[in-house]
Structure 1
Amino acid sequence: MSEDSMLKPPTINKLPTLKPPAVTALAGNSLQLPSTAQQKLNNSANGASTGSATGNPRNKCALKPGYSLMNWIRLCNSGADLSGTAGRVVPVSRSELAKHNQVGDAWMAIRGKVFNVTRYMDFHPGGVDELMRGVGRDATKLFDEVHAWVNYPQLLGKCYVGPLLQTAAVKKETLATDAELMQAPLPPTEIAPRFDWIQQRSELTLCFYTRRLANPGLLLKRQSACELELRVLLAASWHVYKFQLNAAVDWPPKSVRVGAETGKVEVTLAKQLAEPWSKYGTHESSKLEALDELHEFEVLHCAHFNHDSFELSLQSVQRELLLHLPVGYHLDIEVPYNGELLQRSYTPVSETWMTAEAVDSCLATQHFLIKHYEAGPVSSYLHELKPGARLQLSLPRGNFRLSQLEKHRNILLLAAGSGLTPILSVIPALLKRNSNRIERLQLLYFNKTQQDIWLQEKLQALQLSDERFTCQHILTQEAGRISQLLLEPHFKQSPAERFTFVAMCGPTGFNSAALDILTTLNIKTTEVHVFQA
């Protein structure tokens, strides 16, 4: 999906992680409580209703003029110190987090990250009361119950204070006052890849076994003819293997296989001297959490795609680097803009979706289909690039779990406009699935006009080649926007035939409307995934 349709604040001038002094409460800082937030809190204290603050689009609180999502984006771009830390990244203990539990000094933690939401109070569609439920503590569980589809790292990126420190033991009095912490589910079992190797006289294969539907990613770098660094991405963790091989190998690899369903990674390299090895060599392994690393890529191909879109192929400047994304993950592209650096999220697509003129693919190449917005600084910048121009790309990002779809055989896909791109990565993975094979995979693709439709002929060809897949094009200029009337028929079949899982991607308004309708149709949030890039 393209960047400007997401209505999310850009990432500007990413700050380095510094080791700060001890954290102090911000009660005396310059952050002032917006008057409307104070009024809402007073109303709540006096028993006045602030609306149903559930996060459901049907029950949002009315926002005062000047506190829309676009106003929040402008505030994020204004340079205001929304985190209250003057640009420093400050690790936060649970006891420190608990101190910031007032409307005028409000911090909350979501998935190990602490955000200062003081200035966000008046912008929260669910109201101040709802936001205050998570203030001063780890609000992950509450967030997942109400806002699981919201792209909070982008929405609150400028409010980031620092990581939540995890203590080895929790005091009894803390447990007694935080029932939700007591009921929090245990973290999933850690997956550590198991390494093995096999050889033939002329080649070496490095094998990594994770588990079924682990959907691994891969980054492979050659340091020298005998040195390799191989990283396996599982969820948000990188498992790093640094190899000192027994003898020299050629580059690039003869083959690289990454099984989203099997969880197996195989890298086959040709030996420079064809002879048996007594051992593969040696390696050191380590684990790294979410890395904020950028790699330089250059433009190979940038060309017209349709009346308002273009295709872009990028290749790593470091020729001895290969990158494979997990299914459903995206990359952030960073570009300069008015002396700053902007990042937007794009999901690469397989070369099979590109035009015949596109550059041949390999794991060193990433292909994108991008909608050009005249007022969008990033898409406009990318649209004008010539071959040889250079860009910075992030490592893969995302939270899509392929295992979440394992038990489902009838799956509905919803896409709007350029939101088709993450869906394109999911379709082949599901149709190729061997265990619990897909019975029906239907795509409802929403566009304003016939001219806006991407890849109509290729989607039709896929429909003809696999009877399990169907694609229905919905033109909003004729049929109107997504509605219960459009979705309800897909959930009226017999229990054995009705769709039991929905994956979607589109602009924020499209996603919110779809979620609202699915809730009305009694579809559980655990049976829905919303792609945010």
Structure 2
Amino acid sequence: MMTDSQLKPPVSVEKTPLKPPAVAVLAANSLQLPSSSAQQLASSGSATGNPRNKCALKPGYSLMSWIRLCNSGADLSGTGGRVVPVSRSELALHNQVHDAWMAIRGRVFNVTRYMDFHPGGVDELMRGVGRDATKLFDEVHAWVNYPQLLGKCYVGPLKENVATNVEADLIRPPPAPTELVPRFDWIQQRSELTLYFYTRRMANPGLLLKRKDTSEVELELRVQMASCWHVFDFKLSAAVVWPPRAVRVGPETGKIEVVLTKQVAEPWLTYGTQEISKLNSTYAEHLTYEVVLCELFNHDSFELCLQSIKQSVLLHLPVGYHLDILLPHNGELLERSYTPVPHNCLHSNSEQIDADASPNVRNEFLIKYYEKGAVSSQLKQLQPGTTVQLSLPRGNFKLSALESHRNILLLAAGSGITPILSLLRPLLKRQTNRIERLQLLYFNKTQADIWLKDKFQALQDSDERFTCKNILSEAGGRISQELLTPLFNRQQAETFSFVAVCGPAGFNTAAANSLKELQLKPEQIHVFQG
């Protein structure tokens, strides 16, 4: 006889072949060398919403057009799918617009077909052609994920001397590591069904959960692992209540838990059936959200709360990731990247929702307003009930990179605080290798510009491991090596061993250069896209 406690018949899983991989292109990370003209943006890849200078692209040469070209099967590398080592002398020969190769961090790319897609213009991209462009690239934004953007253009490794007796046909890339596929399990009580997905420790998974149309038995659940989505299409045995009663995503444990309430409280013989697939590219996919609230936060910023239409979508971003907000404007689709802030940060959220245990059908943003900002000026005027499009989460932050560090420094400037906010709770709640010291240096122009000052003070009062220091440029405060040097005393055991940085491009560059002078290694620094 079945009891009213946990009932768990054998799991029945139906699998379908995985979809072929598609190029994963970071829409927020286009390969942009310095531009000499400051023009109004049509799109930006800033995690903080800061504008960037870009050249107007010819019709048919948008980012989405580049994605389609990469997915078309065209031979963009010019090597017929082979990986060919390239000497510096060979690289120097490919220095024309119609035959353009460049090297970045030891990897050679054929950027000939990318020329007209480059947001900075052909002339700027030509500055790095025929040579090692690493230094030029790093001067602008070394954190851009260029291997994904130019993955289909990869020619081969840059070599000082290439052996003449090596046949290029025999050279192959190293075998890819075994891919982790989330493991599924389930339990039930008389009135509830709980779905579990296990990834791995510090996997920092994302989650997208959709109700298909108005169905009460069909759900699509996606688990995000870096740029890959593992898709589980469920047809449940009986109807459930929407939205879920609880959703928990553990960045540290890598465990996902979705608790659904049964419409009829009775035991099920099985959860139902599922089909499994995989998506490697979701950049053309957008979600429709409606405005719940849009109101001023301080003198030059506002808070924006968006909710999925009919609460049909639940979206949980991996820690440190961002998404794009898209708006139509003069026949174009403008987009900017923003990082949602955690629940309970904003004045409007008076419900004190537990972000770990409540379904997240809303995304809340703090956005700095630019008078001439094409997107922020429109977002600021949105009325409740109007709709916008959101991209799926994007980013390259690896929470596992912080696992071995117990003393962590956070450097944020202005609206660059938003990605940093997403780190605070996971780090302070970490059970393995518990954090000893977490310090935030928050750079602003004036006292009036500081966001969430009371929140940081409350956190500092409640957890002695966290400290926040506000640094104001009107008082002469600037990011510099002199400012940071006292924090990196190698003779002290509690010296900071990892630094996360986010702010305007100039701030990020100055911070990265200062940390390099203080002998921090690249793996000890993460600069958020900004």
- Give the secondary structure class of the aligned counterpart of 2:496: coil
Matched position secondary structure for 1:427: helix
- TM-score (normalised: structure 1): 0.76
The 1-side partners of 2:63 and 2:261 are apart by 54
Quote the offset at 1:176 in angstroms: 3.8
CA 283–400 in structure 1, closer or farther in 2 if over 3 Å, else same: same
Q: Do 1:76 and 1:82's aligned partners in 2 also have CA atoms closer than 8 Å?
A: no
Q: Tell me the distance in 2 between the aligned counterparts of 1:294 and 1:93.
A: 28
Q: Which amino acid aligns with 1:416?
A: A
Match of 1:244, as an amino acid? Answer: K
Moved more, 242-251 or 370-379: 242-251
SS in 1 for 2:469: strand
Aligned to 2:185: 196
Letter in 1 for 2:341: V
User: Aligned to 2:220, what secondary structure does the other structure show?
Assistant: strand
State the one-letter code of the partner of 2:396.
Answer: N
What is the letter of the counterpart of residue 242 of structure 1? D
Q: CA–CA distance in 2 between the matches of 1:503 and 1:354?
A: 23
Residue 417 and residue 114 in structure 1: after superposition, are their counterparts in 2 closer, same or farther (change >3 A)? farther
> Cα gap change, 1:83/1:397 in structure 2, threshold over 3 Å: closer, same or farther?
closer
Contact 2:327–2:375, Cα closer than 8 Å, also in 1: yes
Contact 1:250 1:270 in 2 (8 A): yes
Identify the match of residue 522 of structure 2 among 522, 525, 529: 525
Determine helix, strand or coil for the equivalent of 1:512.
helix
In structure 2, the partner of 1:76 is 55
Query: Which of 98, 104, 129 is the equivalent residue of 2:97?
Result: 104
Cα 1:506–1:95, aligned 2, differ >3 Å: closer, same or farther? closer
Does the Cα contact within 8 Å between 1:191 and 1:210 map onto a contact in 2?
Answer: yes
Q: Secondary structure at the match of 2:394?
A: coil
- CA offsets 1:238-295 (integer angstroms, 9 cap, x no match): 0000111111111111111111000001111111111111211111101111202101
Query: In the alignment, which of 461, 464, 482 is matched to residue 461 of structure 2?
Result: 464
Q: Matched residues in 2 for 1:81 and 1:284: separation?
A: 36
255-264 or 268-277: which moved more?
268-277
- After TM superposition, give the deviation of residue 74 of structure 1 in Å: 5.8
The residue type equivalent to 1:234 in the other structure is: M
CA distance in 1, matches of 2:515, 2:75: 38
SS of 1:248's partner is coil
CA RMSD after TM alignment: 3.8
* Structure 1, unpaired ranges of 5+: 1-18, 20-59
Give the match for residue 245 of structure 2. 254
Change over 3 Å in CA distance of 1:510–1:367 after alignment to 2: same
Describe the shift of the 1:279–1:470 C-alpha distance in structure 2 as closer, same or farther (beyond 3 A): same
**d(CA) in 2 for partners of 1:375, 1:177:** 56
Whether 2:187 is the aligned partner of 1:207: answer: no
Greater relative contact order: 1 or 2 (C-alpha under 8 angstroms, separation 6 or more)?
2
- Decide whether aligned partners of structure 1 residues 281 and 467 sit closer, same or farther in structure 2, where only a CA change above 3 A counts: same
Contact 2:102/2:108, CA 8 A, preserved across alignment = no
* TM-score normalised per structure 2: 0.76
Shift of 1:144: 9.7
Shift, 1:162, TM fit = 8.6
Query: Does the residue aligned with 1:279 lie in a helix, a strand or coil?
Result: coil
User: The residue matched to 1:430 in structure 2 has which SS?
Assistant: helix
**Cα–Cα, structure 1 residues 134 and 121, in superposed 2: closer, same or farther, change >3 Å?**
farther
Cross-structure match for 1:332: 324
CA contact (8 A) 1:108 1:117 kept: no
Q: What does 1:11-410 align with in structure 2 at a 5 Å threshold? A: 67=36, 76-79=55-58, 89-90=69-70, 91-93=73-75, 96=78, 101-105=94-98, 106=100, 115=111, 116-117=114-115, 120=121, 122-123=123-124, 128=127, 131-133=129-131, 149-151=142-144, 163-164=152-153, 176=166, 187-223=176-212, 224-292=215-283, 293-356=285-348, 362-410=359-407
Matched residues in 1 for 2:63 and 2:201: separation? 44
Aligned to 2:430: 433
Amino-acid identity (%): 53
Matches of 2:243 and 2:412 in 1, distance apart?
36
Alignment match, 1:475 = 472
Contact 2:508 2:527 (C-alpha < 8 Å) held by counterparts: yes
Tell me what 1:42 maps to: none
| Residue pair 1:410, 1:439 contacting (<8 A) in 2 also | yes
Cα deviation digits, residues 407-452 of structure 1 (max 9, x gap) = 0000000000000000000111100100000000000000011110
Task: Look up the SS of the partner of 1:302 in the other structure.
Answer: strand
The verdict on how the C-alpha distance between 1:455 and 1:113 changes in structure 2, with shifts beyond 3 A counting, is farther
One-letter amino acid matched to 1:482: I
What's the secondary structure of 1:423's corresponding residue?
A: helix
What residue number does 1:499 align with? Answer: 496
Distance in 1 (alpha carbons) for counterparts of 2:498 and 2:177? 22
For 1:412 and 1:464, how far apart are their aligned partners in 2?
A: 18
Give the AA of the match of 1:103.
Q
Please state whether the residue corresponding to 1:314 is helix, strand or coil: strand
Is the Cα contact below 8 Å between 1:67 and 1:122 reproduced in 2?
A: no
CA distance in 1, matches of 2:329, 2:409: 39
Is the alpha carbon distance of 1:86 and 1:102 closer, same or farther for their aligned partners in structure 2, counting shifts above 3 Å?
Answer: farther
Residues 1:452 and 1:486: Cα distance change in structure 2 (over 3 Å): same
Equivalent position amino acid for 2:58 in 1: G
Q: For 1:101, give the aligned amino acid.
A: H
Name the amino acid aligned to 1:227: E
Offset from partner CA, 1:125-183 (integer Å, 9 cap, x none):
xx93x553369xxx9xx999998734367xx99xx78945999xxxx99994889x87x
8 A contact 1:92–1:162 mirrored in 2? no
CA contact (8 A) 1:296 1:391 kept: yes
Task: Find the aligned partners of 1:178 and 1:504 in 2 and give their Cα distance.
Answer: 41
Distance (Å, rounded) in 1 between the aligned partners of 2:348 and 2:412:
24
* Residues 329-374 of structure 1: per-residue CA shift (max 9 Å, x gap): 1010001222211110000011211114668764110000000000
Task: Give 1:103 shift.
Answer: 3.0
The AA in structure 1 aligned to 2:240 is: V
Cα distance in 2, alignment partners of residues 300 and 485 from structure 1: 45
SS state at 1:208 partner: strand
The question of whether the paired residues in 1 share the 8 Å contact of 2:77 and 2:155 is answered with no
Measured after TM superposition, the shift of residue 104 of structure 1 is 2.1
Residue 67 of structure 1: how far off its partner (Å)? 2.9
Asked whether the 8 Å contact 2:500–2:528 carries over to 1, the reply is yes
Taking structure 1 as reference, are residues 517 and 195 closer, same or farther at Cα in structure 2, changes over 3 Å only?
same
- Cα distance in 2, alignment partners of residues 328 and 84 from structure 1: 23
Deviations 1:360-409 (A, max 9, x none): 76411000000000011100000011101110000011111000101000
Which secondary structure state, in structure 2, belongs to the residue aligned with residue 89 of structure 1? helix
- Paired with 2:164 and 2:198, the residues of 1 have a C-alpha distance of 40
Letter of the structure 2 residue corresponding to residue 306 of structure 1: N
Contact 1:334 1:392 in 2 (8 A): yes
Alpha carbons of structure 1 residues 392 and 81: separation in structure 2 relative to 1, 3 Å: closer
Residue 86 of structure 1 deviates from its aligned partner by 8.4
Residues 147 and 307 from structure 1, CA distance in 2 versus in 1: closer, same or farther, beyond 3 angstroms?
closer
- Structure 2 gap ranges (5+): 1-21, 23-32, 42-51, 85-90, 157-161, 354-358
Aligned to 2:25: none
- What residue identity is the alignment partner of 2:55? C
In structure 1, the residue corresponding to 2:456 is in which secondary structure?
helix
Indicate conservation of the 8 Å contact 1:256/1:267, yes or no: yes
For the residue of structure 2 that corresponds to 1:377, the secondary structure is coil
Whole-Å separation in 1 of the counterparts to 2:492 and 2:203: 28
Q: d(CA) in 1 for partners of 2:190 and 2:367?
A: 45
